[in-house]
Structure 1
Amino acid sequence: MNHSAPLRLPLAALLTLSLMACTPDPAPVVPPVVPPPVVIAPPQPPVTPAPGPSRLSNQTVNLGTALSGTATQSFSGTWNVRNVPDWLAVSATAGSGDVNLTVTADRVQMAALAANVPTLSGDLILSWAAGTASGTVTWRVTADNYTLTGRVVDGAAAQSLSVSGADLQAGATAVENPAVTEARGVIVKYRAATAHNAVLDGKTLNAQPLGAQLSTAQLQGLQRSTDVLNQLGISPAQRRNLGGREVLLQTEKISPALAALRADPNVEYAVPNAVLRQQATPVMPSDQYAGLQWAYPLMGYGAVWRDMEGGAYTRPVTVAVIDSGVRFDHPDLAGQLWQPGEGALDVLSDAGNGDGNGVDSDPTDPSTPERVQNRTVDSHGTHVTGIIAARWGTIAPVGCPACSTSGVVGASYLAPIKVLPIRAIDVNGDITLADVTLSVRYAAGLRVPAITTNPHPAQVINLSLGGEISADDAAPMCDAIAEARTAGALVVAAGGNGGSTVPTYPAACSAAVSVASVSLSGASAPTHAPYSSAYDAVQLSAPGGTDPNSPTAFNGGTFNGAAFPDMILSTGWDYGRNQPAYMAEVGTSQAAPQVAALAALLLSKGVTSTPADTLARLNATATDLGAAGRDPKFGFGMINAAAALNAPATSSGVGLRLQDSLGNSYQPVLDSLGRFTALLPNGTFRVVAGRDLNSNGVYGEVDEAKQERSVNLGPSTPSTDVGTLTVGN
């Protein structure tokens, strides 16, 4: 069985003829006559229809908002369709006589990230022959996208202009702004300096010099402003000059004061004197390559690491990484691993392409020069381990002048999380059912014959490996995983890189957590990675990186002067130079340890304490992507570290998240008033206006205020307006 191998890119870098029956009129009654002689006419030759046009010509086929339409032309020769764009399908590709094609458009394939393309266009190329003549023509096909409009409003920032009569009667103290938890009085701005001065003085009609400068009507108007404050019980001593034409009024009756002041013609505006709270700032690691590790901000780790600095992550947790082994000598993993003699294990025998030492306590991923040609020139297990636990800050020098002195970071940061390396994948990248079964049991602290019991049983086990085998064949692994779950270990496994709907085992085992891969989309929400397998057992998704066949670079980072692809950067080993390195890889092998790391942090902070409540927390706080609810591509959604760990807010902006049921994301532009127009393919869309509290740019996640609509676009509904989506606190 092959492990769930990473997908790599270099780091340097679609004459009908109608007959009608007639009834003859009745024959008149006449005397009989002698019939004339019968004359037999000579036979006539059959009538042959005139031939159709002897050549095809260019034309435009406009589908409009229909999913499909016909493309026809009369012709008397033979023809074939030589080119069909990927987003179009035709009912036939060759024939003779008249051309009569049904053309179907798959608008999703041509959907623009910015949702700003009104009409799609593509060319069908047809070649033809009639007698001795031949040629090529172009039939241009156009199809209109569908239109979605709406508006996103930050309800916490908007001020209400009315207060209910019930509030006035009750003398309510509630603050209208839902983002404000407390207000200390009211700020009022007057239209003119005279009114501003009058309310501060508490005098009007008899005041000097006002009485000498203003008419009686003007003075009466000023008296009204003063009377309003007196009726509210706000004495001159409770009125503070803020400069300009603004006054702070000290009162606890916020709503009645706002209502009365806004009814005063002298008032330009009145707002609560809101108490604003200091927001935490996200933690940004200073390690040299940390800026290229886009997966952590996407999951909200800036807020988590800020929370971690408060000291709440105190419980030690062991994460077992059953893989190719690890390079203990990588300086960015120093102090993060259980060592040989502390529970680390190599389960491979020499016959199983081991390191020549048989089963032993040293799971070092060996440098085997004679086999370098048959294996990848890095260390899969070291890469997976670094995602979980790479150390922060300066690392020990390695005798390499060009090598980094700080490298990358892992999710664990200050939390007391250690990785237990277990080597079970051989030098050819293969692992057997027996070795998985044995390794899982050992990692969980279960007794394994002829092997010492693990002194540091793992609370979390990571399996970045798997194969598309049958459930029956996978039974030994599934049994071991179920036993480990009972013993207190949550087993996380890579969902598979086959890009198919065939389950991958051991991820599809009922007691395992199958993890799919997502990548950046350039929009608010990430997208399903095309290589990531999708099946009913998929439980969660996590960043695993871009499609290696058409890599994207939405993360904004650069490396050696070029855009860094949306790959997962972590610790590795360069076997050519036999020295530590940092590798960029993609796959569900990289997504699984993201989930394992978050599970470990939940246990370390004490948010959860068992495999069952840890998994429940991961599921409940995941960001639901694609179709609403659990689905085969995303499971319950992408893990959200900030929400799962109750990390403090580090941002508060609002924005739009727009996705279809297939998991594609779109990002139409919001204008200065929050309005948007999205030109989209047919489909079912989730329109989410939400707040972003964890600085990851994904709006309306769990614990973030949102307002959501579901709309269908297609020929029967070519346009729709979702109206105003108001985001509260």
Structure 2
Amino acid sequence: MNRLNLTALLGLSALLTACPQPAPPSALSDAVVVAGPALSATYQASFQGSWLISGLPAWLTASPSSGSGDVKTTFRINRSAGAPHTADQVRLSTPVKLGWQTPAGAAGSATLTVSADLYHLSGQVSVAAALGQALPTPAPLRVNAQPGPQPSAQGIIVKYKTDAAFAAALRGNGFSGTGLFRAQSLGLNSYSGRTLVVQPQFLQSRTPQSQILQAQNVQAQAQAQATALTALRADPNVEYAVPNAVLRAQNLPTQPGSGQALDVQAPYAPADQYAPLQYAYRLMGYGAVWRDMKTTPYLKPVTVAVIDTGVRFDHPDLAGRLWKSSEGALDLVTSDTFGPDTDPTDPGEAGVDGSHGTHVSGIIVAGEGTFASPCAGCSESGVVGAALTAPIKVLPVRAIDRFGNASESDVALAVNYAAGQPVTVQGVTYTNPHPAQVINLSLGGPISVAEAQPLCDAIADATQRGSLVVVAAGNGGGTQPYYPAACAGAVSVASVRPDVGGLPLHAEYSQSYPQVALAAYGGADPSNPTFNMNLMLGGKPVSDSVFSTSWDYQKNQPTYQFESGTSQATPQVSALVALLLSKGVVSTPAAALQRIEATATDLGVPGRDNDTGFGVINAAAALGAPAVSNVFTLSILGEASTFTPPLDNAGRFNAYLPDGAFQVLAGFDRSGNGLGGEVGEPGAKATVTLGPDQTAVDVGTLNVGP
């Protein structure tokens, strides 16, 4: 029995094998590839020959993108690179080209239409809580509403020439005996002296035939009021008769919940020639800070040590803002012929134009106002630094040699010296007469923890002496910690760049690791420039980099330069620490750091994260600067993308977003940086995470409060 069954099965197998198999197609056809909410989608097709996928947009990759034989490729979706800033597109869809060629030489192409759904975030914004009123839910919200039409006058104000005529009107015998109007007690809104106010609904007009015409609607009221004005002005006993006009408040909207008018001052805009190119200050609220500085004294002197390539003391925009050679400036480089000595003038990096140390110093202390032109065609005002007119000075300490390198020992000595510890170099002992409250290190590298120990020891000693050491997080675009930024006690600063509308976005080059503490604007990557701030220089558009003081070594004259990196973000934090100390908001650098972290604008994952630490510094909030705007905004801030979805008349929004963690901010922008609902501003906040496992979230009602 078993043998017969086995024989029968073998016979069937032979029969199937003998049947002809379908040949692979000689061409590839158009197809639709649907990822839906997934992060990837696979396409496959039988084929003999070679094939190539091309025409991929930025949000789509194919792996592999070419091959021979059967086609099998996986499309990976980067929704952050494709979702529009307005968040109003439900899905991403694109045609890509699948080119093919057979062994016989036939060639052609097919179109693959790849689509991927975006994730849905919905909610509603209400100002009820902010206004302190029992408004219905959902409360209506007008965003940047324009004033409506002027309301109609509310009755007539009449003043009589004599007390007798006024008394006759009050007795109801007609206004001064004319008999044209009858003043009823309910109609007298108010009166004083010989003046009375009559509400429009109580104005009754009498024709010559004594027929009474009661105003029944707005048009009739207006007609009755015009008739009444004509008659009253013709009455010899009436001194004047005028419409009771409705006036509109000319101040900006009231501060929610206060019941008082919000005192909105104009943001301060320096008149220096290139100040409009320095967008980073505006995006961190310096228009409000500098306005405050013009009325509130920043009196306490502060020293920021910039350990770098040295500085050009002869740059006119830094005049009076640097401690000089006789005042503690020092060159500690032992690897070239320019140091060590007391002259940290930047000799220039071999083969590279510009002065890194001068650029960093200018971000902190470049002066406001004009100066004598240092050369033909040179600017007479240049740029400004964050300190503007505050008594903050940079102590230049040279530790980076002419080849762009800095030895650990030189940097460690520089940190010790800047903090006030005596150091001995080649038999000479140096003591800093101006110990720095803040030490700026726009340098670093991906060395090991063990290799970094001398640097970390120096930072620990400086911290013990009361200095705050602020260090660039690194520009490798990866996740390896850079030192000395990752040392315990150091403040590691990451970089953000402006996205559409100036909203902060983690810069692609900025290193990401657990020790990152804060972020500031360091500019766009020059190798992948963005132009979101619409900057123009010499009639040409320029990228979103950071503009500051520099030096032209070819012409040997001062200049200004765009640069990007965590080197540029770091002095933004150092400057803010110095300003908090100068204004007296806090008394120690450690307390300044706590305040900066508490007032920073969080991005992406709530709380501290590896990309931007506690968030992007907010100078206006940290320094308690006055309001310079009162514009309502709704913003969604992610780790890799930002969005500004529209609101309908009831304050509802529907946003279609990529995967990731997002901070939803709704509120009033008081700092003038274009982002409302930050710390110190009336606002509401929600945190959401979207992805294949959570494709839709409704955050409910965001009650904008003070």
Please indicate the TM-score interval, normalised by the length of the shorter structure: 0.7 to 0.9
Where 1:632 maps in the other structure, the secondary structure is: coil
Residues 283 and 524 from structure 1, CA distance in 2 versus in 1: closer, same or farther, beyond 3 angstroms?
Answer: same
Distance 2:167 2:505 in 1: 63
Deviation at 1:303, TM superposition (A): 1.1
- Cα deviation digits, residues 492-542 of structure 1 (max 9, x gap): 111111111111111111111110111110145211111110111111111
Are positions 1:455 and 2:433 aligned together? yes
Distance 1:711 1:628 in 2: 9
- Cα deviation digits, residues 388-445 of structure 1 (max 9, x gap): 11111011331x2200001111111221111111111111111101101111111111
Distance 1:245 1:714 in 2: 61
Query: 1:596 corresponds to which residue?
Result: 574
- Cα deviation digits, residues 665-719 of structure 1 (max 9, x gap): 1123446665544332233332211211111112211111211223444456555
Unaligned runs of 5+ in 2: 6-10, 142-149, 159-165, 202-220, 222-245
Deviation at 1:239, TM superposition (A): 14
Residues 419 and 237 from structure 1, CA distance in 2 versus in 1: closer, same or farther, beyond 3 angstroms?
Answer: same
Residues 148 and 311 from structure 1, CA distance in 2 versus in 1: closer, same or farther, beyond 3 angstroms?
Answer: closer
Residues 635 and 354 from structure 1, CA distance in 2 versus in 1: closer, same or farther, beyond 3 angstroms?
Answer: farther
Residues 92 and 353 from structure 1, CA distance in 2 versus in 1: closer, same or farther, beyond 3 angstroms?
Answer: closer
Matches within 5 A, 1:213-252: 223=186
2:356 to 372, 380, 385: 380
Where 2:380 maps in the other structure, the secondary structure is: coil
Where 1:341 maps in the other structure, the secondary structure is: helix
- Cα deviation digits, residues 580-612 of structure 1 (max 9, x gap): 111111111111111111111111111122232
Are positions 1:413 and 2:388 aligned together? yes
Query: 2:84 corresponds to which residue?
Result: 112
Is the 8 Å Cα contact of residues 54 and 130 (structure 1) preserved in structure 2? no
Residues 685 and 456 from structure 1, CA distance in 2 versus in 1: closer, same or farther, beyond 3 angstroms?
Answer: closer
Query: 1:255 corresponds to which residue?
Result: none
Matches within 5 A, 1:425-440: 425-440=400-415
Query: 1:48 corresponds to which residue?
Result: 20
Deviation at 1:100, TM superposition (A): 5.9
Are positions 1:657 and 2:635 aligned together? yes
Are positions 1:354 and 2:330 aligned together? no
1:701 to 664, 674, 678: 678
Query: 2:344 corresponds to which residue?
Result: 363
Residues 61 and 212 from structure 1, CA distance in 2 versus in 1: closer, same or farther, beyond 3 angstroms?
Answer: farther
Residues 298 and 345 from structure 1, CA distance in 2 versus in 1: closer, same or farther, beyond 3 angstroms?
Answer: same
Residues 290 and 242 from structure 1, CA distance in 2 versus in 1: closer, same or farther, beyond 3 angstroms?
Answer: farther
Query: 1:166 corresponds to which residue?
Result: none
Residues 562 and 673 from structure 1, CA distance in 2 versus in 1: closer, same or farther, beyond 3 angstroms?
Answer: farther
Distance 2:402 2:461 in 1: 28
Query: 2:8 corresponds to which residue?
Result: none
1:446 to 396, 400, 421: 421
Where 2:423 maps in the other structure, the secondary structure is: coil
Query: 2:299 corresponds to which residue?
Result: 314
Which one-letter code corresponds to 1:324 in the other structure? T
Which one-letter code corresponds to 2:480 in the other structure? V
Residues 584 and 470 from structure 1, CA distance in 2 versus in 1: closer, same or farther, beyond 3 angstroms?
Answer: same
Query: 2:597 corresponds to which residue?
Result: 619
Is the 8 Å Cα contact of residues 388 and 593 (structure 1) preserved in structure 2? yes
Residues 333 and 95 from structure 1, CA distance in 2 versus in 1: closer, same or farther, beyond 3 angstroms?
Answer: closer
Deviation at 1:155, TM superposition (A): 4.8
Residues 132 and 275 from structure 1, CA distance in 2 versus in 1: closer, same or farther, beyond 3 angstroms?
Answer: closer
Where 1:60 maps in the other structure, the secondary structure is: strand
Deviation at 1:123, TM superposition (A): 1.0
2:369 to 381, 393, 399: 393
Distance 2:329 2:291 in 1: 32
2:121 to 148, 163, 188: 148
Where 1:451 maps in the other structure, the secondary structure is: strand
Is the 8 Å Cα contact of residues 263 and 627 (structure 2) preserved in structure 1? no
Where 2:518 maps in the other structure, the secondary structure is: strand
Are positions 1:560 and 2:541 aligned together? no
Is the 8 Å Cα contact of residues 51 and 67 (structure 2) preserved in structure 1? yes
- Cα deviation digits, residues 62-105 of structure 1 (max 9, x gap): 344444445454x4634534337253355766778765655443
Distance 1:67 1:633 in 2: 22
Percent sequence identity is 47
Where 2:576 maps in the other structure, the secondary structure is: helix
Are positions 1:59 and 2:31 aligned together? yes
1:506 to 471, 484, 498: 484
When normalised by structure 2's length, the TM-score is 0.79
- Cα deviation digits, residues 231-264 of structure 1 (max 9, x gap): xxxx756999999979xxxxxxxxxxxxxxxxxx
Distance 1:194 1:299 in 2: 50
Pairs aligned (count)? 622
Where 1:304 maps in the other structure, the secondary structure is: helix
Are positions 1:77 and 2:52 aligned together? no
Unaligned runs of 5+ in 1: 1-20, 25-39, 164-175, 179-188, 230-234, 247-265
Residues 192 and 112 from structure 1, CA distance in 2 versus in 1: closer, same or farther, beyond 3 angstroms?
Answer: closer
Distance 2:457 2:387 in 1: 30
When normalised by structure 1's length, the TM-score is 0.76
Deviation at 1:471, TM superposition (A): 1.1
Is the 8 Å Cα contact of residues 70 and 101 (structure 1) preserved in structure 2? yes
Are positions 1:516 and 2:494 aligned together? yes
Residues 207 and 411 from structure 1, CA distance in 2 versus in 1: closer, same or farther, beyond 3 angstroms?
Answer: same
Is the 8 Å Cα contact of residues 396 and 405 (structure 1) preserved in structure 2? yes
Where 1:381 maps in the other structure, the secondary structure is: helix
Are positions 1:479 and 2:457 aligned together? yes
1:710 to 687, 698, 701: 687
1:327 to 292, 312, 319: 312
Residues 67 and 446 from structure 1, CA distance in 2 versus in 1: closer, same or farther, beyond 3 angstroms?
Answer: closer
Distance 2:126 2:140 in 1: 13
